[in-house]
Amino acid sequence: MAGSHQERHFAERIGWLRAAVLGANDGIVSTASLLTGVAAANAARSDILISGLAGLVAGAMSMAAGEYVSVSSQSDTEQADLAREKKELETDPEFELEELAGIYIERGLTVELATEVAKQLTAHDALGAHARDELGLTEIHTARPVQAALSSALTFAVGAALPLVVAWFSPEKSIISLVTVSSLAFLALLGGLAAKAGGSGILRGTLRVTIWGALAMAATALVGYLFGAVV
């Protein structure tokens, strides 16, 4: 009993941690790439920092907007499912009771016990029982658009602030090298953390994030360099 309780909390934490790490990763990769790209185009120090700051704000806002829209539509779907379920419970309670008992039989209960459990749960909270056991909607997984939008904007902004702070304290001629090295270190750390939290191989998780981050920064720096040479 104690073990399963802890496992459920662990699973909740994993989901939240993974979303936070992915958000921060996005922030680091996109802002570090932007900074190295603009710096590679021989822009002035102030322009590099302003573009980094603009990237942080634009990225955080677009993450929030995207998350809000996607979680809101998920919430709309959940509400529509609940409304339909409520109607079915009003129009055809016998069938709904059978359906609920059927779910418990499939989970391994005897017909008698499943029917009794379905009867008692229906008497206690029919919609709640169907929402949880038929639709898979639980309190924990209920869509919260504003919370999701705020947390993804925040994690992106925290990630983006890391290379920006490094650029701020770096002498102009070392912005590219210091932002690149420090951002790869931040990515490796977060990649390892996410892998550890998810119970998967730390080395593989670290390498995967770091290699993609390095590729993104190299590609942007190359574009910046070519663009700087042309203009």
Chain residues binding Zn ion by CB under 5 A are: 96, 130, 134
What residue is closest to Zn ion based on CB? 130
Tokens coding 67: 């998350």
Q: Please say which residue, 122 or 151, places its beta carbon nearer to Zn ion.
A: 122
In angstroms, how far apart are the furthest CA atoms of the chain?
80
Q: Please say which residue, 78 or 134, places its beta carbon nearer to Zn ion.
A: 134
Where helices occur in the chain by DSSP H, the ranges are: 2-40, 45-91, 93-106, 111-133, 145-169, 175-197, 202-230
Q: Please say which residue, 88 or 116, places its beta carbon nearer to Zn ion.
A: 88
Q: What is the CA radius of gyration of the chain?
A: 25
Q: Please say which residue, 102 or 198, places its beta carbon nearer to Zn ion.
A: 102
User: CB of 85: closest distance to Zn ion in angstroms?
Assistant: 5
- Return d(Cα 169, Cα 171) in angstroms, integer: 7
User: CB of 128: closest distance to Zn ion in angstroms?
Assistant: 12
Q: Please say which residue, 80 or 211, places its beta carbon nearer to Zn ion.
A: 80
- What is the rounded end-to-end Cα distance, in angstroms, of the chain? 67
- Return d(Cα 14, Cα 227) in angstroms, integer: 42
Contact between 143 and 75 under an 8 Å Cβ cutoff? The reply is yes
User: CB of 134: closest distance to Zn ion in angstroms?
Assistant: 5
Q: Please say which residue, 116 or 134, places its beta carbon nearer to Zn ion.
A: 134
DSSP annotation of 8: H
- Return d(Cα 8, Cα 213) in angstroms, integer: 32
